[in-house]
């Protein structure tokens, strides 16, 4: 590092003296620099000359943005105007479950016949399986073995006849457990309630606020059937499924407890069902439908049907009655009926585009268990039975320890819990 520079010295003689005098030269004063910004004239052409293209671009940008806003608003408005609506509806049923009215509102079906689905439960009128508590209706599945013993359910020989059976077919009122024959008593007791004898609607709205149960092979459902089979036996006269689900966990591969579905069943024959063309679903994220209460709703008019959860934005299924159901089904023109081929019948030939959904329907709320109709597909989720097996119920019953371990011991979680039911009729 260089030493600091020393001040310059000036040497001169002092008149006649012989001595030299050294004087340190004073450092000249620094000159203040003048700002170049203050010198001369600064030109500002934008004040005197207008940029036409710049201003044009400015206005075009804002005009396009404004058009976008107006266009979006018009699109939303016409979409809103285009949504079909019910019009005037009148409340015909409102149950907040302050009491359990089984005299004038709810009919308890008592049956062991499987309801056409090969279901494994029997439905009872026992307060163990359906009751009202704290303003809520509970449908609770229980084990038959808790009542008659496991050996009597599985092995027998034992005959069980259900008390208060409501099915006119006596075969649906009893069962026999016989280990040699491979037959068992229905291993689960549950409940099924309907408004068949009290309330029905033809066009209108239904809202059911409910929480679905947890547990493998539980099948909660809110649905409707026609008061009269105007167009023939099921599915000719139709079926409206507002909500159905599965109690299996979220890891179940065929839509478990985090899914709910809505659908229509209809067809000219029992083996020709158009449900595959009229169904939809809604699912939750990071939760399940057993975590809390949701509103399951149906809106129904001569022109459309709409199924949704909580909000119309959460629609499971929306269908316009813009063509006859027989045409919608695309059924084969000729079918095999026993030993002969026949022309596929059209049971709705004299109806409207809404037929068969142009007649009064009543409401059903039930909690089924298992079944052989395909709702629980074979091979999915370690299913312990095959739908085509003659011993399907026996196979299910023998696996009781496995599936029952997935059912919560807390009744509030194992039950299908209904907070309210409302029905409106178009008026």
For 257-319, give the DSSP string.
TTEEEEEEE--SBTTB-GGGGSEEEEE-SSS-TTSS-EEEEEEE-SSEEEEEESEEEEEEEEE
The answer to whether the Cα torsion of 108, 111, 116, 117 is positive or negative is: positive
Please check whether residue 49 lies inside any domain of the structure: no
Active site (annotated) includes residue 121: no
Say if residue 335 is in the same domain as residue 197. yes
Tally the domains of the chain.
2
Domain's final residue, options 86, 106, 138: 86
> What local confidence, expressed as pLDDT, does residue 87 receive?
85
Active site (annotated) includes residue 179: no
Peptide bond into 50 cis (omega under 30): no
Which of 109, 119, 121, 244 does the annotation list as catalytic?
A: 244
**Cβ neighbours of residue 366 under 8 Å, at least 6 residues apart?**
109, 123, 139, 190, 191, 192, 193, 220, 221
Say if residue 99 is in the same domain as residue 209. yes
> What local confidence, expressed as pLDDT, does residue 419 receive?
98
DSSP 178: B
How wide is the angle at C-alpha 197 spanned by C-alphas 195 and 199, nearest 5°? 50
> What local confidence, expressed as pLDDT, does residue 19 receive?
45
> What local confidence, expressed as pLDDT, does residue 238 receive?
98
Say if residue 278 is in the same domain as residue 328. yes
Say if residue 216 is in the same domain as residue 126. yes
Please check whether residue 26 lies inside any domain of the structure: no
CA nearest neighbour of 192 among 414, 365, 363: 365
Alpha-carbon distances of 106 from 142, 254, 370, 394, 423, rounded to whole Å: 21, 32, 24, 32, 14
For residue 108, the enclosing domain spans: 89-426
Please check whether residue 95 lies inside any domain of the structure: yes
Say if residue 61 is in the same domain as residue 140. no
Which of 109, 119, 121, 239 does the annotation list as catalytic?
A: 239
Task: Tell me the three state secondary structure of residue 191.
Answer: coil
Say if residue 207 is in the same domain as residue 78. no
Structure tokens that stand for 175 in this block: 């069962």
Structure tokens that stand for 53 in this block: 């293209």
Mean pLDDT by 10 residues, the chain (427 residues): 48 46 50 54 66 80 90 77 81 98 97 97 98 98 98 96 96 96 97 97 98 98 97 97 98 97 96 95 94 97 96 92 96 88 94 97 98 96 96 97 98 97 97
In the chain, what are the helix, strand and coil shares in percent, each to the nearest 5? 20, 35, 50
CA nearest neighbour of 331 among 377, 279, 275, 281: 275
CA nearest neighbour of 162 among 137, 131, 186, 127: 186
Say if residue 318 is in the same domain as residue 263. yes
Please check whether residue 21 lies inside any domain of the structure: no
Say if residue 298 is in the same domain as residue 373. yes
Say if residue 70 is in the same domain as residue 216. no
Domain's final residue, options 48, 68, 86: 86
Task: Tell me the three state secondary structure of residue 68.
Answer: helix
> What local confidence, expressed as pLDDT, does residue 6 receive?
47
Structure tokens that stand for 302 in this block: 């001569």
Please check whether residue 20 lies inside any domain of the structure: no
Say if residue 286 is in the same domain as residue 182. yes
Please check whether residue 66 lies inside any domain of the structure: yes
Which domain CATH number covers 216?
2.60.120.200
Say if residue 248 is in the same domain as residue 375. yes
Let me know: does 112 contact 174? Beta carbons within 8 Å. yes
Say if residue 106 is in the same domain as residue 120. yes
Domain's final residue, options 36, 71, 86: 86
CA nearest neighbour of 234 among 106, 339, 115: 115
Please check whether residue 176 lies inside any domain of the structure: yes
Please check whether residue 220 lies inside any domain of the structure: yes
């Amino acid at each position: 590092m260089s030493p600091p520079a020393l001040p310059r010295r000036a040497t001169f003689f002092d008149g006649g003296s012989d001595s030299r005098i050294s004087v340190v030269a004073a450092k000249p004063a620094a000159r203040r620099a003048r700002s170049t910004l203050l010198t001369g004239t600064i030109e500002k052409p934008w004040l005197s000359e207008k940029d036409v293209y710049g201003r044009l671009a400015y206005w075009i940008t804002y005009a396009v943005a404004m058009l976008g806003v107006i266009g979006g608003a018009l699109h939303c408005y016409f979409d809103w105007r285009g949504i079909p609506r019910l019009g005037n509806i009148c409340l015909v049923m409102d149950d907040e479950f302050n009491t359990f009215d089984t005299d004038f509102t709810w009919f308890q079906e008592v049956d062991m016949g499987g309801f056409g689905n090969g279901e494994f439960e029997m439905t009872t009128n026992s307060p163990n399986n359906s009751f009202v508590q704290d303003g809520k209706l509970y449908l609770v599945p229980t084990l038959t073995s808790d009542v008659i013993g496991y050996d009597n359910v599985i092995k027998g020989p034992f005959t069980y006849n259900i008390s208060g059976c409501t099915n006119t077919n006596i075969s649906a009122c009893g069962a026999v457990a016989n280990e040699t024959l491979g037959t068992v008593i229905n291993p689960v007791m549950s409940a099924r309630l309907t408004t068949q004898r009290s309330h029905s609607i033809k066009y209108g709205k239904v809202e059911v606020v409910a929480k679905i149960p947890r547990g493998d092979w539980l099948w909660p459902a809110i649905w409707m059937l026609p008061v009269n089979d105007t167009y023939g036996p099921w599915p000719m006269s139709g079926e409206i499924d507002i909500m159905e689900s599965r109690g299996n966990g979220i890891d179940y591969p065929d839509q478990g407890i985090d899914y709910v579905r809505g659908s229509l069943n209809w067809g000219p024959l029992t083996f020709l069902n158009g449900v595959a063309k009229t169904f939809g679903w809604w699912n939750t994220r990071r939760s399940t439908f057993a975590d809390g209460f949701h509103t399951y709703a149906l809106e129904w008019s001569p022109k459309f049907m709409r199924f949704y959860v909580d909000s119309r934005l959460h629609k499971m299924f929306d269908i316009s009655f813009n063509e006859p159901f027989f045409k919608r089904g695309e059924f084969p023109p000729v079918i095999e009926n026993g030993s002969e081929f026949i022309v596929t019948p059209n049971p709705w030939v004299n109806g409207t585009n809404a037929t068969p959904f142009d007649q009064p329907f009543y409401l059903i709320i039930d909690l089924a268990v298992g079944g052989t109709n395909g709702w629980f597909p074979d091979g999915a989720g370690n299913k312990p039975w095959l739908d085509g097996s003659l011993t399907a119920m026996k196979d299910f019953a023998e696996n009781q320890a496995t599936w029952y371990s997935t059912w919560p011991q807390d009744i509030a979680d194992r039950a299908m819990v209904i907070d309210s039911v409302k029905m409106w009729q178009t008026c």
